[in-house]
Chain A
Amino acid sequence: MEAFSRRWTALAVAVGVLLIGMPAQAKTEIHFWHAMTGQLGTSLEAQAKQFNESQGEYEVKPLRKGNYAQTLTAAIAAYRQKNPPHIVQVFEVGTQTMLMSGAVYPVYDLMKHYEIPVKWNDFIKPVVGYYTKDGKLYSMPYNSSTPIFYYNKDAFKKAGLAPDKPPKTWKDVEAYAKKILAAGAAKCGFSTGWPSWTMVENMHATHDQPFASKNNGFGGVEGVELLVNRAFGQKHIGQLAAWQKDNVYSYGGRGGAADPKFVNGDCAMYVQSSALIGGFTRGVKFDWGTGELPHWGAPYRKATSIIGGATLWVLKGKPEAEYRGVARFLEFLAKPEQQMWWHVNTGYLAISNTAVRNLEQGYHFVRNPKQYTAFAQLTGLPPTPPAAMAGKKAAPAKAERVATANSSGLRLGNFVQIRDVIESEMENIFAGKKSAKQGLDDAVAKSNALLKDFAATYKQ
């Protein structure tokens, strides 16, 4: 009890010190609020430390403010009190809120103002495109990922399927699932993480179908409407609901709630973020592989997937002199060697083509072929890393996926709520409470009301 009260006093003192402000230091502090935990948080701190040691003027201070939602709430409150952090990490669904906030110092302008040359063209297009407005990059992509397909090679073998050939089409997925079920190699065919992101947002993107009007919301705030209740959405979600009945598909909840289904071996296939590769490498006991997202084939075009994750936003309201340090830090993060280090340590995507090429030349992808899947899917290149083909006679890589307006990202207000609406209607559909059409119609109607509400909040 005494130790406890001492801790209270110590904390009160610590809080007091924070309030009064630290004694003046030679280095200018750059506050960086983030939401990374565990291994990811450690990597982030290591990166900041490296930057701090690389120069003598600025000191980046990372501070974890809770999960994504809490970090954003904290940054908002701090901004409203005119004491924001310099940099805040925001999840992709908060993009439109940030863009409309008037509180943001666009990264493009920042770099230009401090005359720091950045090769914007070198960045992987689907990654930066998500955060670009009027040709300017607004926030710095930090931890980006894209959904990929995971499969249990042991279960494949048991069912007599080739362990090196993941299904390419949804028809394959169905056929493989039925074989796996018949062989008793697993209890369910496949499951999904982040249901709206993987099964609605990315399915529309990879099939070159619009998710929302006005160019997926890139064309403005006013009058944007969701389009997921069209023929394609109904077909895909309706098919999932049908598969749910005979265990070809098994819904496992939102976010990462279904991860155990794959890790336990219950479901032989899984669609989830590429960022899970590291976790699965540590936690999965069986032999497994990755593949690109399955496709429905003609008449749909095969397009690149879209990303998720979070980016770093620079907030207005700090003394002019400090922004040079922010710019220097972002420049540091954009360097190919930092990109490579970040990718190797966290599994999140490297965002510059140079970094990807360097990783490639260092045979990183030959040693870690699973890590290449996401890059192939985002760039449209074939799933085999070119270095693996070295020495073999092969034609130069030809793009297998096209990058289209429908696959460059989504920009919607109230996107957090919209995802929630879509996922609860998916649950209603999978539970048999609503038909796919009915559920998607309801999702669209509710989302449109949210979009209208958002537009009203920002009405000029």
Chain B
Amino acid sequence: MRRTVFANRWLPYLLVLPQVLVTVVFFFWPAAKSFYLSVFKSPPFGGRDIFVGLDNFTALLTTSDYYDSVVSSFVFAGGVTGLSVVGGLVVAALANQKIRGLTLYRTALLWPYGIAPAIAGIIFLFIFHPAYGILPYFFSFVTAYEFNWLLRGWIAMALVITATAWTHLGYNIAFFLAGLQAIPTSVVEAASVDGAGPVRRFTAIVLPLISPVTFYLVVVNMVFAFFGSFGVIHAVTLGGPGHATEIMVYKLWKDGFIGLDLGSSAAQSVILMAVVIGLTVLQFRFAEKKVTY
């Protein structure tokens, strides 16, 4: 039986038109313009654009600041993804049992997903605050080390990673739970009859079965950490101390909107485009094989 039953000449175009219009005006045209701007040096007030070829790119790639920012981005994205995916899996495994009040647990666990990363950043900023945070206070009983994120880059990084990962935990738990519940109990029971312990059962049987979900979540969390985390950085560390938390998106905004260096900012956009294309290819190649065009 055929699904495409309606034969209307103009209606499909009309239905697609609004979305295509938004796509072209707000996505393709500006993206193309990013490419254009990236090979020019343009004084902010305009007047003339000097064609410089790949100078904006070489200027970026030959300075340590940009490398630092790339490294920060990957540390940040890796940290966020690692923490929220592994954490999500562990908690989901714990929640995948038959106990009373489970719905309540699940609702509570989903909650952080409803908190904006910047807001989460501000909560954690208070928890981590060197002068009156609860965390440095408790650490002060254990060690004399000063947990001051205004000076110590790695603490600032830990702070923004924790806050961001926390907001994404609920989302990951929801997906892992769905994945775990889709595994037929008979499969796991068969393994336990074979004498495998709970940990062994989990790593040998469950983990491979939910690997598509895991992979999907890794990619989604990476994309989120790379492109959706500007707010945490802006609200909490402003990229500092040093450039310790200056992720690529933050630097791009800073150079473009504060420094008014349009050429460099556009070149950074183009480099980021490569990152996102890479991540998307990964996603479609491995995680969403079922998608057919």
Contacts and interface: CB of A to CB of B under 8 A. Distances in A.
B63 A72 contact: no
B45 A76 contact: yes
A97 B43 CA distance: 8
A25 interface: no
Interface in B42-89: 42-47, 50, 52, 55, 59, 63-65
A425 B242 contact: yes
Given A69-B257, A97-B260, A431 B63 contact: no
A147 interface: no
A425 B241 CA distance: 9
Interface string A425-460: 101101101000000001000100100010011110
Given A73-B260, A257-B150, A266-B131, A80 B46 contact: yes
Interface string A240-274: 00000000000111100100000010100000000
Given A425-B242, A431-B242, A449-B59, A102 B47 contact: yes
Interface of B: 41-47, 50, 52, 55, 59, 63-65, 131, 150-153, 238, 240-243, 254-255, 257-261, 263-264
B162 to A, nearest CB: 20
B106 to A, nearest CB: 30
Overall SS of chain B's interface: loop
B243 A424 contact: yes
Contacts of A446: 63-65
A239 interface: no
A252 B150 CA distance: 7
Contact of B45 (A70, A101, A421, A430): A101
Interface string A218-251: 0000000000000000000000000000000001
Interface in A105-161: none
Size class of A's contact patch? 35 or more
Nearest to B40: A457
A257 B131 CA distance: 13
A453 B59 contact: yes
A416 B259 contact: yes
A430 B151 contact: yes
B43 to A, nearest CB: 5
A424 B241 contact: yes
A97 B260 CA distance: 9
B261 to A, nearest CB: 7
B240 A424 contact: yes
Given A73-B257, A414-B261, A417-B261, A449 B242 contact: no
16 contacts: A69-B257, A70-B257, A76-B44, A76-B46, A79-B45, A101-B47, A253-B240, A254-B238, A257-B150, A427-B151, A427-B240, A428-B241, A446-B64, A453-B41, A453-B59, A457-B263
Given A257-B150, A416-B259, A427-B241, 6 more contacts: A70-B257, A254-B238, A416-B258, A431-B153, A456-B50, A459-B50
Given A416-B259, A431-B153, A424 B44 contact: no
Contacts of A70: 257
B160 to A, nearest CB: 15
A424 to B, nearest CB: 5
A97 B261 CA distance: 11
A12 interface: no
B63 A76 contact: no
Q: By CB atoms of chain A within 10 A, which of B47, B152, B260 has the most?
A: B260
Contacts of B64: 442, 446
Nearest to B152: A431
Contacts of B243: 424
A414 B258 CA distance: 10
A431 B50 CA distance: 40
B258 A456 contact: no
